[in-house]
Structure 1
Amino acid sequence: MAHRNDATPDRSSKIDRIRGILSDLGAPAVHLTTAASLAWLLDGPRTAVPLGGAPVFSATVTADGSVTITALANEIERLRDEELAGELLWREIPWYGDLASPPGDAVAEADVAARLRAARADLLPSEIERYRALGADTARAMSAALKAAEPGWTERQLAGYLAESAYGIGAEPAVLLVAGASRGSVQHPIPTDAPLGDRAMAVITTVRDGLHVSATRWVTFADHERFADTEARLREVEADILDATVPGSSFGAVFDELRAAYARHGFGDDAWTRHHQGGPTGYLGRDPKVTPGFDDTIGAHHAVAWNPWVPGAKLEDTVLVTADGVEVLSLDPEWPSTTVRGRIRPLPLART
């Protein structure tokens, strides 16, 4: 990302989308303040200093298509040199200044949040190519970490290896979760000093060019058969969800299907209530998590990451919605797999 000189061709298309929103509203400008919108518009810069922290700049886009960056004084030089490129106007404020307040009569991002989310969701061809590359790189990085893991490692050790692998592909880790054998029923296993033991789950979300790829994988060091039935039934739940994830459907309809799928495959009517199920992704890990009542329409060229979960089993990959069905982006062809309804799906890596 360092020393970028030119904006990507994507930016003019994205500015046009914003201008369309402003025209519909009759507004002169919009003030962007979230990491998702800033990364989307400006070719994937790293918007924050702490990982996952608040952005250290904002952007005002006018109806004529100009973009003014408001940056903190202690960040502006680095942003100009390393993160932001192209034809931009710059406004410097003190390091303690206010990035959030819209200048003049610009509307706040929160006032057009749904419209901007829809604009981000419709991925351009060049974004899709970047997404495919990040998905493949992330899958290989995850594989390398789990092929190196040992049952005596702690969860923190594996998380550290995963973080190193993420940086090794030019990405940053947004999520790193690890569950050893003693914590396989924890929904969000933030790593501890517990040993991996005979079975472990690893979860990663990588970020590169602003795009997020999420994946979950399992590794076993002993007899795996005691979990095989649960995992097979959860793969059927996932298959039902992916079958329903088609252009023109709504996330509400998919959510209804996933709730029914848990019961259909023997997990009970309330299994879906025990963990969030994922949702649209792209310039956020989940943009947003799908909840009852969220009814946005799914489109071709949208990215989605579902994560069906039951105690002791979880599946997760990042997929691209297409007219021909979902394309799984985060697959490593060298990882052990099975085929479910024509899709390659990962199995646990057996290290016995």
Structure 2
Amino acid sequence: MSGADLAIKRERVLGILATRSADRLALTSHAAVSWYLDGARTHVSLAGDPVLAVLVGADGDTVITTGSERARLEAEELPAGIRVHEVDWQTPLPSAWADAAGVLTEADVAAELRAARARLLPAELGRYRALGRETAAVLTEVLAAADPARSERAVTAAVGARLLERGIDPVVLLAAGRARLAHRHPLPTGAALGDRAMVVVCARRHGLIVNLTRWVRFSRTDGAETDATARILEVEAAFFAATRPGAEVSAVLARGSAAYGAHGFDPEEWRRHHQGGPAGYNGRDPRAVAGLPDRVQAGQAFAWNPSAPGAKVEDTVLVGAGDDPLEVLTVDPSWPTTLVHGVPRPAELQR
């Protein structure tokens, strides 16, 4: 853990408390707890609630957890010297502060808390860049060895295994072979990949999540599909051009969504699938929607994912300061790329 990063995060939370004239803030979500504890693993079950909470106050921080988790957390996940309050495994964690006055919940300060964790710090950036490179490399490795008779489940199993070997949790694994490309969230099945396939991964390590989509083809290039891919990259470019420090995330969504019609798609196409948004300690933190008050910050991660029938693009990028270009975090030099308005974008892997 980075002591410097931890100190900055604590100051950010204390600033929220001061603004709200409150004594303490209870952090209870995977995103908030893992962020505050600088990448601590907060789960046992990927489908379950966090196994610890953090009560942040001017007098210090207290981790609340159960006796069954305490020893492991203190040995492997928590910063040295932090206070730990143990409750019985039958007792909900919030009982530790249920009767205390002046305690805010995450719901009370949701927007402020998102803003506090948006600007990534040096140690976080190092971990995030490594996660992006490794996850992208896994997809290259697996898809470069795939064949059209292989099933969607077999491909995602191979991706998941290689991620887990690197200490990365595959929190989302999607795959669509030729027969299932119409589905926007194609949970893998036993269907064969066929002559064209899409694989989508959301991968987590140290609490941070990267998101990326890749395409592989086992047949000759199709002119219509190539054209749709080129046009969806132009839609993504509109999102990228608008993702600048100070911009409202809802305004970025509006500008990117308007690009569908400008590039030959149904102008309502953006309504058929979410378009992505800020990233980091949630897959989307949060999804971009109309009216969202959040603003883009320098040093913040985003993952936009414009899509249309047979076309989708997605990577996790980092916002630079001022007019600095976006940095693509989920890039692998072994994967074929194309430059779109100066940004390297993934091409379809031709097998």
Asked whether the 8 Å contact 2:111–2:294 carries over to 1, the reply is no
C-alpha distance in 1 between matches for 2:242 and 2:295 = 12
Q: Does 1:332 align with 2:332?
A: yes
How far 1:166 sits from its partner (Å)? 1.1
What count of residue pairs does the alignment treat as equivalent? 345
Q: Does 1:119 align with 2:113?
A: no
Is 1:39 the counterpart of 2:34? The answer is: yes
Partner of 1:14: 9
What residue is the counterpart of 1:166 in the other structure?
Answer: 163
TM-superposed deviation, 1:7: 5.4
Output the TM-score relative to the length of structure 2. Answer: 0.95
Deviation at residue 52 of structure 1 after TM alignment: 4.3
The counterpart of 1:144, out of the listed 136, 141, 145, is 141
Aligned residue type for 1:289: R
Aligned to 1:343: 343
Deviations 1:178-227 (A, max 9, x none): 11111111000011111111111111111111111111000111122241
2:93 aligns to what?
99
Matches within 5 A, 1:61-210: 61-64=56-59, 66-101=60-95, 102-103=97-98, 104-105=100-101, 106-210=103-207
Q: Which secondary structure state, in structure 2, belongs to the residue aligned with residue 97 of structure 1? A: coil
CA pair 9-146 structure 1, distance change in 2 beyond 3 A:
same
Aligned with residue 286 of structure 1, among 266, 284, 287:
284
Pairs within 5 Å for 1:231-246: 231-246=229-244
Instruction: Give the TM-score of the pair, scaled to structure 1.
Output: 0.95
Letter in 1 for 2:76: E
Q: C-alpha separation between the residues in 1 aligned to 2:48 and 2:283? A: 14
1:294 partner SS: coil
Give the match for residue 264 of structure 2: 266
> Any unmatched runs of 5+ in structure 1?
1-5
Task: Tell me, in whole angstroms, the C-alpha distance in 1 between the residues paired with 2:325 and 2:93.
Answer: 41
Q: Is the 8 A contact 2:280 2:301 kept in 1?
A: yes
| Distance in 1 (alpha carbons) for counterparts of 2:341 and 2:320 | 16
What displacement does 1:306 show? 0.3
Picking from 16, 24, 49, the partner of 2:44 is 49
* SS across alignment from 1:205: strand
The corresponding residue for 1:316 is: 314
1:141: Cα distance to partner? 1.1
Q: Greater shift after overlay, 269-278 or 126-135?
A: 126-135
CA RMSD of aligned residues (A): 1.3
Extract unaligned runs of 5+ from structure 2: none
Distance 2:303 2:80 in 1: 31
State the SS of the aligned residue for 1:50: coil
